[in-house]
Amino acid sequence: MDIKEIKVKDLDPKAFIKAQVESIRATVGDGTAVVALSGPPVRLTLAVMAEGALRRELDRLKKAHHKGKTFPTREEPLKGGRPIGS
């Protein structure tokens, strides 16, 4: 990933977010992504972006697979699997 300076006059937040979401989708595909953040304000900004992306994806999944209705809440704990990297 190349890091470059973005001047304020050239900043387009919506286009930037759209490009990042597309890049993440291309990388993750149907897999699972984990967001680990530390230190304000970066943590807070990225957390808000990640939460928005997750909410939009959940809405898309509800429309595509559950007739737009909210998914039922889990009544049992998640079952653990094999640790990552093992």
50, 54, 57, 58: CA torsion to nearest 10 = -170
- Asked if residue 46 belongs to a domain, the reply is yes
How many angstroms separate the CA atoms of 17 and 48, rounded? 12
- Asked if residue 20 belongs to a domain, the reply is no
Q: How many CB atoms lie within 10 A of CB 32?
A: 6
- Asked if residue 39 belongs to a domain, the reply is yes
Range of the domain at 56: 35-66
- Asked if residue 45 belongs to a domain, the reply is yes
- Asked if residue 42 belongs to a domain, the reply is yes
Model confidence pLDDT, tens digit, residues 56-82: 988 999 999 999 998 888 888 878 888
How many angstroms separate the CA atoms of 37 and 45, rounded? 10
The answer to whether the CB of 35 falls within 8 A of the CB of 47 is yes
- Asked if residue 9 belongs to a domain, the reply is no
Q: Provide the pLDDT for residue 81.
A: 81
- Asked if residue 54 belongs to a domain, the reply is yes
The number of domains in the chain is 1
